[in-house]
A and B are shown apart, each in its own frame.
Chain A
């Protein structure tokens, strides 16, 4: 068999590797087993406060429209069906099936017991030190189907 060569440039493909959901899930389960539930939430909180800092800033300056834009992009990219209901004081996102959970189930990857925290804790962290709060109104562990709600808060919330 002669030598085979494959040459690719970044522009040849779209950046979308859904198996990364499985790797993140392994990381979350590992933290849970080794360091406990609080460590999972603390890690996700710190990650979200750092990485989504520009989104938090946009939420402060532009309001919930900034969050709606972000999540519309994410769910469109990941192929997840989501319905958005947006007003000045509230954003509601109804997800039929979480694309990450769906992919992991299809591939046979274990879904971490605290995987929901990638939505619940991360959303709360994004809203921290803004006029808004987040809650996960419904969540189905099997499919990731759920309802996320962001709303104008009356008192400042703190971690955890």
Chain B
């Protein structure tokens, strides 16, 4: 059994494998598939609770992933934000000396969540400029009702 604590390197190596099969398009296609098949819980949380659904979803995942983060929800302003001080996934990949992270690893977070949230009427922005230092920030917003 591959432990869930070993999933991140398995995921990174899967992206490399897919790229070897069919180029970047093959990796993108998988990310879209994963978003459609695996993020139903985020989709339904946001459909039912609006921006608070983002808070609920990431409260669960980021705590289980032992992330170092600040998360903010301002429903009046219509904004949800995560500042990732140290991403548990990239930090883990950077710790290993015997494996190299997939070069575009962090962009899956852009593709996966954007694909759920934009069709629901939210703006999704993610700053990955420091992702190789395991830092990023994402903002999800919509106009207040």
Contacts and interface: CB of A to CB of B under 8 A. Distances in A.
Contacts, number: 136
Interface string A8-20: 1111111111111
B118 interface: no
Interface stretch (B65-73, B125-133, B135-143): B65-73
Interface in B33-85: 33-34, 37-38, 55, 59, 61-77
A12 B86 CA distance: 13
A51 B70 CA distance: 31
Interface residues of B, number: 45
A43 B98 contact: no
B88 A27 contact: no
B5 A15 contact: yes
- Interface majority SS on A: helix, strand, loop or mixed? helix
Nearest to B68: A10
A122 interface: yes
Contacts of B34: 23, 26-27, 30
A21 B61 CA distance: 13
A43 B130 CA distance: 29
B99 interface: yes
B109 interface: no
Contact of A47 (B10, B37, B71): B10
A87 B46 CA distance: 53
A13 B69 CA distance: 12
Contacts of B65: 13, 15, 17
B1 A98 contact: yes
How many of chain A's residues touch chain B, expressed as a range? 35 or more
A22 B77 CA distance: 34
B9 A51 contact: yes
Contact of B59 (A6, A16, A74, A99): A6
A11 B88 CA distance: 11
A24 B99 contact: no
A23 B4 CA distance: 10
A10 B30 CA distance: 29
B62 to A, nearest CB: 7
- Report the 4 A-B pairs with minimum CB-CB distance, sorted nearest first: A20-B7, A17-B64, A15-B66, A20-B4
27 contacts: A3-B73, A3-B74, A4-B55, A4-B72, A8-B68, A9-B68, A10-B88, A11-B66, A12-B66, A13-B63, A16-B5, A17-B7, A19-B64, A20-B8, A24-B7, A26-B37, A31-B14, A47-B9, A47-B10, A47-B13, A47-B14, A50-B99, A51-B6, A80-B1, A98-B1, A100-B1, A118-B2
